[in-house]
Amino acid sequence: MAVYVVLLGPPGAGKGTQAEILSEKLGLAHVSSGDLFRENIKNQTELGKLAKGFMDRGDLVPDDVTIAMVRERLSRPDCAKGALLDGYPRTPAQAAALSQMLNNLGGKVDVVPYIRVDEEELVRRLSGRWTCRAEGHIYHEVFNPPKQTGVCDVDGSELYQREDDKRETVQRRIHVYLDQTAPLIDYYRKEGSLVEVDGAQNIEAVTQDLLAAMPAVAGGAKA
C-alpha cells in the first residue's frame, strides 16, 4: 500500500532539506507545494502569475488552486508508492482535502513528523539559504555550504536567494505560519499521527531522529 508522510514545521525548519534526503532513502516522491509554485512561476503559467503576488508578500496562495495543484501532482505515476509532502497542507481546509484525496487513492496520512525549531534560528537559516536554479537543491552559506560558492553540487546550476527570504517577508511568513498552519499540529496530534522531532540539531542528526520517529515507514530505508 502507498505511504504518505507529511512534513510539518515553520519556514526554514528544514522540511525541504530533509525531504530531499528522506525521499531518496524511503523511495517516495518528494511533493513540495512551494517548489511546484516556483516551477509555475519560472514557466510563466497562469497559476504561476497568480501565485507570485501571494508568495512575494509571504502570504498563502488561496486554498482552491493549491489543493487542485497538489491533487494533480499526487495522481502522477511517480507517486504510486506514496509521497513525502513538504509544505502542504498549510490550512485546516487543505488538511481536510488531503484526507479526501488520499482516501480516493486508497491511502491515508500515515505519519506527520513535526520539525520543531525556534524563531531566532529560523531567521538565521533563511537569511543564509541559497537555492539551486534548476532543481531547487538547498544550501546554507554556513551550515551546509556548496563545494564551490554559487554553484550547485548536484547539477552545476546557479544558486540564488529566494525573493521571500528578505527579513520583512520572513517575519510575515512566520506570522502566517503561526496563525494558519500551526493549528495543524494539534489536528494531527488528535488524529494520532503526529511525531515531534528536535530540528535544532545538525542536518544528519535530524534525519536520524526522523527515521527513528517513524519506524513503520522507515523500516526499509536505505542506509
CA distance 130 to 153: 12
Task: Identify whether 162 is a catalytic site residue.
Answer: yes
Q: How far is the CB of 68 from ligand AP5 (least distance, A)?
A: 12
Decide if residue 16 touches Mg ion (CB under 5 A).
Answer: yes
144 binds, among Mg ion, ligand AP5, none (CB under 5 to 8 A by kind): ligand AP5
Closest of 192, 222, 198 to residue 210, by C-alpha: 198
Decide if residue 107 touches Mg ion (CB under 5 A).
Answer: no
Nearer to ligand AP5, 4 or 88 (CB): 88
For 33, phi then psi, to 5°, come to -65, -40
50 binds, among ligand AP5, Mg ion, none (CB under 5 to 8 A by kind): none
**Contact set with ligand AP5 (CB under 6 A):** 9, 11-17, 33-34, 37, 54-55, 58-61, 66, 87-88, 90, 94, 125-126, 128-129, 138-140, 143-144, 164, 173, 202-203, 206
Catalytically annotated residue among 25, 52, 57, 162: 162
For 220, phi then psi, to 5°, come to -100, 20
Catalytically annotated residue among 38, 73, 90, 125: 90
- At position 179, the amino acid (one-letter code) is D
Could you tell me which residues come within 8 angstroms of residue 81 by beta carbon, excluding any fewer than 6 positions away?
2, 3, 27, 28, 29
Q: How far is the CB of 200 from ligand AP5 (least distance, A)?
A: 7
- At position 66, the amino acid (one-letter code) is T
For 87, phi then psi, to 5°, come to 90, 5
CA distance 84 to 110: 10
H/E stretch holding 89 reads: none
Catalytically annotated residue among 38, 73, 125, 129: 129
* C-alpha cell read off for 54: 501571494
Contact by Cβ (8 Å): 48, 54: no
Catalytically annotated residue among 15, 38, 73, 125: 15
Task: Identify whether 15 is a catalytic site residue.
Answer: yes
Nearer to ligand AP5, 165 or 214 (CB): 165
136 binds, among ligand AP5, Mg ion, none (CB under 5 to 8 A by kind): none
Q: How far is the CB of 58 from ligand AP5 (least distance, A)?
A: 6
The β-bridge partners of 160 are: 131
Which residues carry out catalysis? 15, 90, 129, 162, 173
Residues forming contacts to Mg ion in the complex (CB under 5 A) are 16
